[in-house]
Structure 1
């Protein structure tokens, strides 16, 4: 679904190169913000949301496959210790990836509202300095 939505958006938004179409689309988007289940933000997030859910489902299926219980290992002729080692390695790699995902999300969070607030504080202090400089000069 994510790929389908992304392709459809790419094709449709190619037409928005014309400024009058972009302006009309932006006006319609601002007018239709009442419905919390379907608005412009939900519309634009659909490819990413479906991608995230498909990745979660894939990881669940991968772990279910890796940690499946086998009644007998005669079919694979692989020692139980090797299978357990493979399961542990795959699980550790997944855990490491999830740890880094948490660190990335935490780092990106600093570039959002926190950075915006610090920038606003800096601009206010600069305005105050400029104001004091102008008043002191005269």
Structure 2
């Protein structure tokens, strides 16, 4: 007779499934938001800049579109990560690389005075928090137990 497992020692299947579903939903929502932001930057760069980034310096349409392409790519990767659990860690990780580097650039520029005083806190909800969330979701996916498949 085998001893019964202590239910507190390991997460239940339903809690693992719930966590995976919540992670997929978060990735999908973030992906759609990033796709929308990227599309806005690509299609109406001047209006995007005036509403979002005018305190960062002079407007450069080409640069805004380049960053918009990166946001669209990150958004597409996150949508795919939400829909493809087997590739979730890699896809979210790739998006997290861009978002993380972008957030670090904002921190460095805020610390050096290249961005206006208070920019670090102003940027937190739209730059730093999403990067942290995506990186956490990528790590969660990478560490999640996998179902073994028979060959």
Query: Which one has more relative contact order, counting CA pairs under 8 Å at least 6 apart?
Result: 2
TM over 0.5: no
The TM-score with structure 2 as length reference comes to 0.29
Q: Which has the larger radius of gyration?
A: 1
